[in-house]
Amino acid sequence: MTVTTIDAKYLGHAEFVSTYLLQHGERAAFIETANAAAVPRMLEALNEQGMSPEQVDYVIITHVHLDHAGGAADLMKACPNATLLAHPNAAKHAIDPSKLVRSATAVYGETLFAEMYGTIDPIPEDRVRIMGDDEVLDWNGRELRFLHTRGHANHHFCIHDPASRSVFTGDAFGLVYPRLQDRGLFALPSTSPTDFDAAAAKDSVDRIVATGAETAYLTHSGGVTDLAEVAALLHPQLDRYGAIVEEAFASDREGDAIDAFCREQVDALFSDLFKAHGVDSANTRTTLAMDMNLNGQGIAAAVKKKRFKAGRG
Ligand SMILES: [Zn+2]
């Protein structure tokens, strides 16, 4: 029941984005695809296990954020017998990525987007299979169970693999960067745009722990074995993010003032986190600069969405 962790070397960074290779008898499956630049590395890992692209049955994406699904089209082209397994809300973006590309371009800007992802091709509809909540895939006798896990994204699922006693958590079980673990476990939630929901995120964390899996394989980055401890670190942070959303929602701030407020509050949250963990250095801030920025943007997006739903948008 081998699980191979592949370091995608995403944007040139080590241990920042992981993808996973599962082997079952003579067959293989990939979980997560990082971006197109990582695909040759994934095929190399397959080759190192003595397997060919023809032996890949599944390419599984936890959600369509492009550090998870950006390489899916290229990987599917390379693996002619593979079916893409995706959340119902993710599948449509894999088949027609135009809207996804537009919204990611809005987050990153055109230049950075092109550098990070190149072009994102559509995946033929007949190669995509939707997995429902709690649906079990029978992979030649090995069962993979799909858990819809909202909170980070509405198109997110996790994959429970009882055979390897593991759960593949995408972005639903936070970020645990190996380089920040030297002073004890350091985990933080990702609240990046556009679907953040604190209560749903907490439920998803609990659902992951409740699988009873021994290892959670995070996309950012690698396997963690102390699931209860990770959950205990994520919960209070999610509460605080939720409180920031509520405070901004209830205030009379509008437009850019919402963004500024959320950015300030998220920066303060990170500062407290760094202090509590004894990692308050320029180095840590550099490592987490993109996450701080994305979390701030995601909180502001959550406020605006909540206003819109309440008829105040
Ligand atoms: Zn994500």
Q: In this structure, what CATH number is given to the domain that contains residue 44? A: 3.60.15.10
Domain count, the chain: 2
217 plus 249 within the same structural domain:
no
Q: What separation in Å is there between the alpha carbon of 143 and the centre of ligand 1?
A: 25
Helices and strands (H, E) in the chain, number of each type: 11, 12
Q: What separation in Å is there between the alpha carbon of 259 and the centre of ligand 1?
A: 20
Q: Which residues contact 59 (CB under 8 A, 6 or more apart)?
A: 29, 30, 33, 72, 75, 76, 79, 82, 83, 84, 85
Query: What's the domain range around 210?
Result: 3-225
Q: What separation in Å is there between the alpha carbon of 155 and the centre of ligand 1?
A: 10
167: β partners: 160, 216
Buried b / exposed e over 200-222, threshold 16 CB at 10 Å, is bbbebbebbbebebebbbbbbbb
Q: What separation in Å is there between the alpha carbon of 153 and the centre of ligand 1?
A: 7
Cis previous bond, 166, omega within 30: no
280-294 pLDDT per residue, tens: 788 888 889 999 999
Q: What separation in Å is there between the alpha carbon of 192 and the centre of ligand 1?
A: 7
Decide which of 191, 225, 259 is a domain's last residue: 225
Query: Per the confidence metrics, is the pTM higher than 0.75?
Result: yes
Lowest-pLDDT choice from 48-62, 81-95, 113-127, 275-289: 275-289
209 plus 236 within the same structural domain:
no
Q: What separation in Å is there between the alpha carbon of 307 and the centre of ligand 1?
A: 23
Decide which of 197, 225, 253 is a domain's last residue: 225
Decide which of 189, 205, 225 is a domain's last residue: 225
136 plus 78 within the same structural domain:
yes
Q: What separation in Å is there between the alpha carbon of 38 and the centre of ligand 1?
A: 17
40 plus 174 within the same structural domain:
yes
Q: What separation in Å is there between the alpha carbon of 160 and the centre of ligand 1?
A: 18
187 plus 205 within the same structural domain:
yes
71 plus 175 within the same structural domain:
yes
Q: Smallest Cα–Cα separation from 153: which of 189, 99, 207, 126?
A: 189
173 plus 289 within the same structural domain:
no
Q: What separation in Å is there between the alpha carbon of 50 and the centre of ligand 1?
A: 31
95 plus 128 within the same structural domain:
yes
Q: What separation in Å is there between the alpha carbon of 195 and the centre of ligand 1?
A: 10
Angle between helices 289-309 and 227-250 (to 10 degrees): 50
Neighbour tally for 176: CB within 10 Å: 22
pLDDT confidence of residue 1: 64
162 plus 22 within the same structural domain:
yes
61: β partners: none
Q: What separation in Å is there between the alpha carbon of 150 and the centre of ligand 1?
A: 11
120 plus 244 within the same structural domain:
no
User: Is the pLDDT reported for residue 158 higher than 80?
Assistant: yes
Q: What is the largest CA-CA distance in the chain?
A: 61
Q: What separation in Å is there between the alpha carbon of 26 and the centre of ligand 1?
A: 31
pLDDT confidence of residue 297: 95
User: Is the pLDDT reported for residue 313 higher than 80?
Assistant: no
